[in-house]
Amino acid sequence: MTSELIIKDLHVSVNDGEKAVLKGVNLTIRQGEVHALMGPNGSGKSTLSNAIMGHPHYTVTSGDILLDGESILELEPNERARLGLFLAFQYPVAVPGVSMANFLRTAVSNVRGYTDQAPPSNGSSQQKTIGSNLMPMRDFRKELLEKMDEFNVDRSFAKRYLNEGFSGGEKKRAEILQMAMLQPKFAIMDETDSGLDIDALRVVSDGVNKLAGPGLGILLITHYQRVLNYVQPNFVHVFFDGRIVMSGGAELAHQLETQGYQWVKDEFGETELVKA
* Chain segment 30-88, per-residue pLDDT in tens: 999 999 999 888 889 999 999 999 999 999 999 999 999 999 999 999 999 999 999 99
Q: What is the band of 203 on the pLDDT scale with cuts at 50, 70, 90?
A: confident
Q: How far apart are the first and last CA of the chain?
A: 35
pLDDT of residue 121: 57
Residue 155: which domain range?
A: 94-118+130-165
Does residue 118 carry a pLDDT above 70? no
Among candidate residues 225, 241, 237, 193, the one with its CA nearest the CA of residue 91: 193
pLDDT of residue 226: 86
Alpha carbon distance 81, 212 (integer Å): 18
Largest Cα span, the chain: 73
If asked whether residues 49 and 88 sit together in one domain, one would say yes
Integer-rounded Cα radius of gyration of the chain: 20
If asked whether residues 137 and 225 sit together in one domain, one would say no
Number of domains in the chain: 2
If asked whether residues 1 and 79 sit together in one domain, one would say yes
If asked whether residues 259 and 153 sit together in one domain, one would say no
Q: What is the band of 174 on the pLDDT scale with cuts at 50, 70, 90?
A: very high
- Asked whether residue 208 is domain-assigned, the answer is yes
pLDDT of residue 230: 92
- Asked whether residue 123 is domain-assigned, the answer is no
If asked whether residues 61 and 190 sit together in one domain, one would say yes
Q: What is the band of 130 on the pLDDT scale with cuts at 50, 70, 90?
A: very low
Other beta carbons less than 10 A from residue 27's beta carbon: 21
Average of per-residue pLDDT values in the chain: 89
- Asked whether residue 161 is domain-assigned, the answer is yes
Q: What is the bridge-based pairing of β-strands 4-14 and 59-67?
A: antiparallel
- Asked whether residue 25 is domain-assigned, the answer is yes
The H or E element spanning position 171 is helix 168-182
Residues of the chain with pLDDT > 90, as a percent, come to: 66
Task: Give Cβ neighbours of residue 87 (< 8 Å, ≥ 6 apart).
Answer: 49, 50, 52, 53, 187, 188, 190
- Asked whether residue 172 is domain-assigned, the answer is no
Q: What is each CA distance from 198 to 202, 226, 227, 229, in whole angstroms?
A: 6, 9, 10, 11
Alpha carbon distance 204, 208 (integer Å): 6
Alpha carbon distance 268, 188 (integer Å): 26
If asked whether residues 98 and 88 sit together in one domain, one would say no
If asked whether residues 75 and 186 sit together in one domain, one would say yes
- The lowest-confidence range among 27-36, 189-198, 247-256 is 189-198
If asked whether residues 52 and 137 sit together in one domain, one would say no
